[in-house]
Structure 1
Amino acid sequence: MGVMNELINAGTVRSLERILGAASPGRTFPGLAGTGGHLDPLSLRGRTDLLSRALLADLPEDYAGTAAIFRRALEDPDFTGWMIWPVTEAAVTLALTRADPGDFEDCLALLAELTPRLTGEFAIRRLLAADLDRALAVIQDWTSHPDWHVRRLASEGTRAYLPWAIRVPEITDRPAATLPILDALYRDPVEDVRRSVANHLNDLARHAPDEVVATAARWMAEPDGNTSKVVRHGLRTLLKKAHPGALELLGFPPASLAVTAPQLDRAVVELPGELAFTFAVSNTGPAEARLAVDYVVHYAKANGTRAEKVFKLGTAVLAPGESRTFSKRHAFRQMTTRVHHPGGHTLQLQVNGVRYPAEEFTVLT
């Protein structure tokens, strides 16, 4: 995270002080200037909060006055990048604490103006948490905005599990609330917007899988050239969880299959190391079978239990009576995102959502 932290540094502070000073002649920024020497021990989020507090101390106490300075600063092309994050947070704080009529909607408009310089998806979360319906009434209009950054903000900013962002419980409690936004954007001409829609749909699948599948089915009934890719990416978690509706929608209905147990190349894996395995799948039914082939690793946990993770292996089409052999090498190494513990592990195959007998192996650290 050290490199990420440096996205806001002493140079960022000096640039922001210069730009805002030019946008508000005669105003000084002692609080902002004083933050430069206090950044080193802080995370990127900590640096954002430090600069945001300094801006609130230096800028007008009313939202309208501060928003006017930020809008004038947009005339400077250097007003861009990670310096925008503390600016958006300061704007939202004023809009929510002063509570003057119209500040809430104007702050949303300001975020839309700023988001082409750096996404407003983090700051917008507090507005959503304060009044979800009021915010969504504005955000829905962004789905037809001429700037794709704003259209992406409509989808990304309202995700249930947006990385780095605060949670908005009402979004997870009301999964249908943001579906009109996705309905308006799933055929967007810009890939970054469509990718956001797919990730948003995947977030909703954690709490409303049947509603997500129904939504994806509606989209597949009125597709364009990119819809199938959006749907596949949006249903990826449901595919790993073998949701029957998701599998069938993507063309992997139940099939008559014979699947051999995985043949492991070793019984013990020493970290760092790899485990190679092979297996065969045969179509025993009378019709062609489309296969979504996955495998599941049941990892040993420190407390003696196991935690599973599904990995995609590939897809295949088998004619009646046809067999195919699959092979894979799976790496085991310590990572910040996954700590391996010594002990018994299991590798299991999953084809079209059906799991087959597993094989045991041991990991030594």
Structure 2
Amino acid sequence: MAEPLKHLIGPHTARDTADAVARAWGPFDHAAFLTDTLPVIDSLELMQRGQCIADALHRHLPGDFETAARILDDCLPAREVPGLSGWALLSFNQYIARHGRGHLATALDLLKSLTPHFTAEFGIRPFIAEEQDAALAMISNWVLDPNHHVRRLASEGTRPRLPWAMRLPQLVADPTPILPILEALLDDPEDYVRRSVANSLNDIAKDHPDLVADFVERHAKGASKERLWLLKHASRTLIKKGHGKALANFGFAALTDVEATLTLASDRIDFPGELTFEIRLSNTGAATRTVLVDYAIHHQKKDGSLSPKVFKGKSLTIAAGDSVTIARRHAFRPITTRVYHPGRHALEVMLNGRRVAICDFHLNMPQGDKG
């Protein structure tokens, strides 16, 4: 069995931190720091463990943040000198985020120095939330940094809806201040950075779909293969939802001459089991059509209503007068992210985002059981 995630930080982390700070700053009370952390750290969860070390740092470092920041910076690896890295730096993020307020330039510079050794995308967000204009002015300069971790921090740390992190409500409401950062990184040589840009645009698309569709249209002209991948990945939520312009940006125009027939092998499925189905597509027009085929399972909820979940299918071309049959199986088995309920469900097929066919089926659950 895998070790619990919280064990990424533990007594060893507290000792490593104490050793690093003691090397960087002679007056540091190594023993008192460990007395503050070792008796309690094993009883805490992951983020609490980091905060426990961060709180002890606050108690035992100088009260002046500018001075403390220089000490923490000296704890980081530099050239041939080893230092703290990895999960040991979670507590540095937490310390900076809490105690660096009012010291924007110093705090962001320290997070920039930290990010090649451990992510700093969580640490910079309180500063963006409180001093957005000033923070983004500094972060915008990072897009030219030679270190790809720093460039990625510029895009990842400013994501309006970064998972597991505090939301940035001002950027959720108006993301235009971060668009220049994303534009500057569209053709970054590192896939690691480009993927972050795509994820940020996908975040924005959840609240501003037309803005992202327009952004993609502007930047798709003459784009490299790598940029086109980025823009399509950025459009994944819009494509899944059938946003017309987002689909048109990638050649999936509205279809009026492609007919779809959906056939189920059985309309009753025992859990666990599989829904087997075929989609027959016929191009009745006079030109070849590019077709994006997706399907949605409408799962029954506890109250009897149906909730759709879209699954990506495939992209294909159908010549004029031709037909294509797609055979698929969709598994129903226990998963941690869904509770299955017996009764009516539905399978729906979408072509280029437009719903074209739907069939009901019944899910049978074992007596007294739910998935």
* TM-score tier (shorter): over 0.9
Give a deviation string over 1:291-349, Cα, whole Å, max 9, x none: 11100111111122221111101100011111111111112223222222222111100
Give, in whole Å, the separation in 2 of the partners of 1:46 and 1:224.
44
Q: CA shift at 1:288, angstroms?
A: 1.1
Give, in whole Å, the separation in 2 of the partners of 1:10 and 1:360.
56
- Residue 213 to residue 33, structure 1, CA distance change in 2 (3 Å): farther
Give a deviation string over 1:7-42, Cα, whole Å, max 9, x none: 112211111111111111131142455323423443
Give, in whole Å, the separation in 2 of the partners of 1:61 and 1:251.
59
Residue correspondence of structure 1 range 267-286 to structure 2 within 5 A: 267-286=267-286
- Work out the number of aligned pairs and report it: 359
Q: Given residue 58 of structure 1, which amino acid in structure 2 is its aligned partner?
A: H
Give, in whole Å, the separation in 2 of the partners of 1:78 and 1:215.
42
Give a deviation string over 1:102-144, Cα, whole Å, max 9, x none: x201211111110000010011111111111111001110011
Give, in whole Å, the separation in 2 of the partners of 1:345 and 1:142.
49
| Counterpart in the other structure of 2:85 | 80
2:90 pairs with 1:89: no
Give, in whole Å, the separation in 2 of the partners of 1:141 and 1:222.
26
- Residue 144 to residue 308, structure 1, CA distance change in 2 (3 Å): same
Give, in whole Å, the separation in 2 of the partners of 1:10 and 1:122.
23
Q: Is the 8 A contact 1:32 1:51 kept in 2?
A: no
3-state SS of the aligned residue for 1:328?
A: strand
Give, in whole Å, the separation in 1 of the partners of 2:191 and 2:122.
21
Aligned residues with identical type, % of pairs: 38
187-196 vs 44-53, which deviates more? 44-53
2:259 pairs with 1:258: yes
Q: CA shift at 1:222, angstroms?
A: 4.5
2:245 pairs with 1:245: yes
Q: Given residue 281 of structure 2, which amino acid in structure 1 is its aligned partner?
A: V
Q: Is the 8 A contact 2:11 2:42 kept in 1?
A: no
3-state SS of the aligned residue for 1:330?
A: strand
3-state SS of the aligned residue for 2:100?
A: helix
| Counterpart in the other structure of 2:44 | 42
| Counterpart in the other structure of 2:63 | 61
Give a deviation string over 1:136-162, Cα, whole Å, max 9, x none: 001110011100000000000011111
RMSD: 1.6
Q: Given residue 318 of structure 2, which amino acid in structure 1 is its aligned partner?
A: L
- Residue 289 to residue 127, structure 1, CA distance change in 2 (3 Å): same
- Residue 206 to residue 66, structure 1, CA distance change in 2 (3 Å): same
3-state SS of the aligned residue for 1:269?
A: strand
3-state SS of the aligned residue for 1:35?
A: helix
Q: Is the 8 A contact 1:8 1:83 kept in 2?
A: yes
86-95 vs 195-204, which deviates more? 86-95
Residue correspondence of structure 1 range 161-240 to structure 2 within 5 A: 161-240=161-240
3-state SS of the aligned residue for 1:34?
A: helix
3-state SS of the aligned residue for 2:225?
A: coil
Give, in whole Å, the separation in 1 of the partners of 2:270 and 2:10.
42
114-123 vs 82-91, which deviates more? 82-91
Give, in whole Å, the separation in 2 of the partners of 1:272 and 1:28.
59
Q: Given residue 259 of structure 1, which amino acid in structure 2 is its aligned partner?
A: A
3-state SS of the aligned residue for 2:357?
A: coil
- Residue 119 to residue 286, structure 1, CA distance change in 2 (3 Å): same
Give, in whole Å, the separation in 2 of the partners of 1:33 and 1:281.
70
Q: Is the 8 A contact 1:187 1:227 kept in 2?
A: yes
Give, in whole Å, the separation in 2 of the partners of 1:285 and 1:5.
59
Q: Is the 8 A contact 2:125 2:168 kept in 1?
A: yes
Q: Given residue 65 of structure 1, which amino acid in structure 2 is its aligned partner?
A: T
Q: CA shift at 1:71, angstroms?
A: 1.2
Q: CA shift at 1:265, angstroms?
A: 2.5
Give, in whole Å, the separation in 1 of the partners of 2:111 and 2:355.
47
Q: Is the 8 A contact 1:213 1:245 kept in 2?
A: yes
Q: Is the 8 A contact 2:277 2:328 kept in 1?
A: yes
3-state SS of the aligned residue for 1:79?
A: coil
Q: Which runs of 5+ in 2 are unaligned?
A: none
- Residue 264 to residue 90, structure 1, CA distance change in 2 (3 Å): same
Q: Is the 8 A contact 1:21 1:28 kept in 2?
A: yes
| Counterpart in the other structure of 2:287 | 287
Give a deviation string over 1:20-78, Cα, whole Å, max 9, x none: 11111131142455323423443322222222222111211111111011111124434
TM-score w.r.t. the length of structure 2 is 0.93
| Counterpart in the other structure of 1:7 | 8
